[in-house]
Structure 1
Amino acid sequence: MEKSIKDISLDFTVAIPTYNGLERLPKVLDQLLMQTGLEQITWEIIIIDNNSSDKTFELIRTYQASHNTDFQIKYFLEKKQGIPFARHRAVSEASGEFIAFIDDDNVPATDWVTAAYNFGKEHPEAGAWSGQIHGEYEVKPPQDFKKIQSFLAIREYGSPTHLFDPDNLRLPPGAGLVVRKQAWCESVPAKPNLRGKLPGLFVQGDDYEALLYIHKAGWKILYNPAMHINHQIPHWRFERDYLLTLARGCGLCVFQLRLINAKYWEKPIILIKTLLGNLRRVLQHFMKNKNYLSNDITLRFEMQFYLASMMSPFYCLKCWINSFYLKN
């Protein structure tokens, strides 16, 4: 980690990783400039440009030159492609005690920063926390979309505060996530195993990987219902090919994620449970829905996720073999 927790000089950092976000960023930045209740909070906004080919840099220069507030908007270029690298860069550059990750299609409520900051102060045991993420859809979602909406980072859990369940991979997405810088710097390895969405590679799990390390270090991961974000969902995210690719990517990371906090003797058990448990889910899903699978994209999504989860140990083995040959 290029920076340590000793570099904390502000209360709060909003970090926005972006790739070709010229069209999306203004709505997010304008909403952040309208945040309320921050008179006693020192904060900053940092943009992590992950190799954009559009005019993202010029856009940020315009905001830097025109905004007249008592906080800074900073810009950094991260050349290593992939959102895990962008988030690691954000942590290394952030000066806030708390660091909030907002994607360039996340529009926070005007009290989002205040709600996030106050929650962190009230819960010193929390290494990370997240709130409600609501969908704003360009087109109508498919039938029974609520069954799979969490895969598109839509999370609406109601009003009670509660603990997430890392042991069963029930965790919040990276979008709208707030972390305690101390927890991240002391827990999360600088080199991620899961690299996120890249050209030709759509394996997910990068959001969960960091959270599992934070959990392993003894920090709690909490849900704060007072934090609200609207997630902008364009029409193409409901196209068949995108959804099935997403389902596959979410499934292929399952075995690797379950190994992070596993003891050595537990790993063979996790292997067997991953293979047989998901085989059972595949067979049950097919027998129950075989007459509808060809026409129902939500059912197809679930089937693809179960199949990819079943295959995730073999994908993990492939990654280990590739890594071995690259080192040698």
Structure 2
Amino acid sequence: MLDLTVAIPTYNGADRLPLILEKLRSQINTENISWEVIVVDNNSSDNITEVVKNYQAKWPENIPLRYCFEAEQGLAFARQRAIEESKGYFVGFLDDDNLAEADWVAAAFKFGQEHQKAGAYNGKIIGNFEVNPPENFNKIKPYLAIREHGSQPHLFEPEKLRLPPGAGLVIRKQAWFECVPSRLALTGRVGKVMVAGEDYEALLYLHKGGWEIWYNPAMCIYHKIPKKRLERDYLLPLGKGIGLATCQLRMVNAKNWQKPWIFTRTILGNLRRITQLFIKYRGQVKTNLISAFELEYFWGSLLSPFYIFYKLGKNK
């Protein structure tokens, strides 16, 4: 078994993959680490296989670069395939728009060795913007997987849904196989369906199994944000999609007697938030991009209990 696998799930990421691979090929302080890179093609229609083959021809022999294919679209399926294919004791996930700092691999492996109860951990995620983000963007930047939680390691709070995103996440494979179902309820954004939360769902199962979830500031990646991801057509469906996962996530670690209360509290709490938003912004709720995003998020959260039943009916 290797020390670490770096897995890159990608869908039509042929144009984005070269820069990510260059960053991985340039990693430092890995002389005493056995590691590999896996590109997980999530049913792409571009020339991703050609890109990987070209890099394999000139890739360092001591760091395997492998390709695998996952036909079922959805980030949850791609990550599950990466776990199954990986040979590393730890598996670090980089999305195809994540650029790792030169010491990311070394920092990831070191932290896992030093924190034996850590089932998963993440680090700093800094936004790399194609254009300047809108005013007050900081209010919603965590929803685009841009996170900085200070300079000291600390535990996340899963019981409050305070968790890291899947971008840059490192998991202990033993913990994943022990705790995470092979098929999650939330499968990730596919096409026009923007419902997210698959990364949080997996982490909640790890927490349920007794594993710790950590923040490690020594790990740093840059998340490339193109112009289109700062526009209304992308942000508003994203907000609603994240909200739609809320109730499902709160149910993961809930006891049966708690579930009706979670259902009710989710509805009443988001009715209150929507009312407060309209009072605060008055006529600007729909014209101000940030408040419009918040509205869609609260609206999605309000609908999230009913979304559970919708999915159950759809899957019958």
Q: TM-score per shorter chain, which class?
A: over 0.9
The one of 119, 127, 130 aligned to 2:122: 130
Give deviations 1:105-136, integer Å, cap 9, x for gaps: 00000000001110000100100000000001
The one of 83, 89, 104 aligned to 1:97: 89
Partner of 1:163: 155
The one of 116, 119, 122 aligned to 2:111: 119
Give 5+ residue unaligned stretches, structure 1: 1-8
Partner of 1:179: 171
The one of 302, 306, 325 aligned to 2:294: 302
> Per the alignment, in what secondary structure is the counterpart of residue 291 of structure 1?
helix
TM-score scaled by length of structure 2: 0.99
1:78 lines up with 2:70 in the alignment: yes
Structure 2: which amino acid aligns with 1:258? R
1:24 lines up with 2:8 in the alignment: no
In the alignment of these two chains, the number of paired residues is 316
Deviation at 1:272, TM superposition (A): 1.2
Deviates most, 294-303 or 123-132: 294-303
The one of 60, 79, 82 aligned to 1:87: 79
The one of 244, 263, 279 aligned to 2:236: 244
> Per the alignment, in what secondary structure is the counterpart of residue 191 of structure 2?
coil
> Per the alignment, in what secondary structure is the counterpart of residue 189 of structure 2?
coil
> Per the alignment, in what secondary structure is the counterpart of residue 290 of structure 1?
helix
1:40 lines up with 2:32 in the alignment: yes
Structure 2: which amino acid aligns with 1:210? A
Deviation at 1:202, TM superposition (A): 1.2
Aligned runs of 1:1-328 on 2, under 5 Å? 9-323=1-315, 326=316
Runs in 1 of length 4+ with deviation above 4 angstroms? none
Structure 1: which amino acid aligns with 2:77? F
Structure 2: which amino acid aligns with 1:209? E
Deviation at 1:157, TM superposition (A): 1.1
> Per the alignment, in what secondary structure is the counterpart of residue 40 of structure 1?
coil
Give deviations 1:156-183, integer Å, cap 9, x for gaps: 1110111111111111100000000000
Structure 2: which amino acid aligns with 1:257? L
Deviation at 1:68, TM superposition (A): 2.9
Distance 2:268 2:152 in 1: 35
TM-score scaled by length of structure 1: 0.95
Deviation at 1:294, TM superposition (A): 3.0
- Work out whether residues 277 and 285 of structure 2, in 8 Å CA contact, stay in contact via their aligned partners in 1: no
Give deviations 1:201-230, integer Å, cap 9, x for gaps: 111111111111011000000000011100
Deviation at 1:291, TM superposition (A): 3.0
Identity of aligned residues (%): 52
Q: CA RMSD in A?
A: 0.8
Give deviations 1:211-269, integer Å, cap 9, x for gaps: 11011000000000011100000000011011000000000010011000000000011
Distance 1:198 1:68 in 2: 34
Deviation at 1:81, TM superposition (A): 0.8
Distance 1:52 1:189 in 2: 25
Partner of 1:4: none
